[in-house]
A = this chain, B = another copy of it.
């Protein structure tokens, strides 16, 4: 089976899992629950839970303790899109061919649905504390492991992670001055790579990996996340509109600075290659069956859409 098909199959499995964590649409707060579920089920590659699960498996993780965290990271990714699409932010009316949450439910409900998703992500991740009892690992150790994973989730999603990158991105758009390479890297690293790092690190932590392995996973995910984002910048210039499913050149039209406008196409491509080789090299230093992870990463970095 080709890698694209494998990814699709796994995404479907993850979506089924995600559905088991959705809130029931009932009660006086029903509307916000509907808006949350609408946003969560709007499709998407389910890339972050997939990387988490595959890292967990690769390093020998068994059992279900990773599952609440898989749902949680997708909820955090989703809330960031819901708030990002708001009129006061990017003001997007469509995402993946569907109307955005605030268009369907109103701006007030979209703000609350985003808040609800972020809060519920932590609530969901905490359910992993209750997976403790069914495992052979000592209760105290398992609590400590889940607590470490929770800390990584909080850190990488917050002001020193994704929200930090989001802020720098919004600021860059509001300002006249041109972006430095350092600022752009900060944005790519925090807005995109941070949640990828959280995904792989949490997969590692819950599999029982040691700190050295977690550090390697963080670096590997950083490489993947930044390469993914530079590839995005490249595709906006040379991509095939039919394959991409969206018009190319939108960054240039919006006067948006990208890795390509700052460093040029040649260096952008060289950087993607360098980061991608480094990521695969790091994977090779880890134990376990890393074949799918390597194929997934290569696919993501060198994708044409």
> B-contacting residues of A (Cβ < 8 Å)?
23, 27-29, 31-33, 36, 79, 83, 86-89, 106-109, 111-112, 114-116, 118-120, 122-123, 126, 129, 138-140, 143-144, 146-147, 150-151, 154-155, 157-160, 163-168, 170-171, 174, 183, 186-187, 190
Q: Given A119-B154, A129-B151, A150-B150, 16 more contacts at CB 8 Å?
A: A27-B164, A29-B167, A29-B168, A32-B164, A32-B167, A83-B115, A86-B88, A109-B170, A114-B115, A115-B115, A116-B167, A120-B159, A122-B122, A123-B158, A140-B143, A143-B147
Which residues from B are CB-within-8-Å of A138?
Answer: 140
Closest to A158 in B: B119
- SS class, residues of chain A in contact with chain B: helix
B129 touches A111 (CB 8 A): no
CB-CB nearest in chain B for A145: B143
For the complex, give the distance between the alpha carbons of A168 and B126 in Å.
26
A28, A111, A114, A118 — most chain B CB neighbours (10 Å)? A28
Residues on B with beta carbons closer than 8 Å to the beta carbon of A36: 159
Which B residues are in CB contact (< 8 Å) with A163? 29, 32, 112, 115-116, 119
Bound together, the chains give a CA A164 to CA B183 distance in angstroms of 38
User: CA separation between A106 and B23, bound complex, in Å?
Assistant: 32
Residue of B28, B32, B111, B126 near A89 (CB, 8 A) is B111
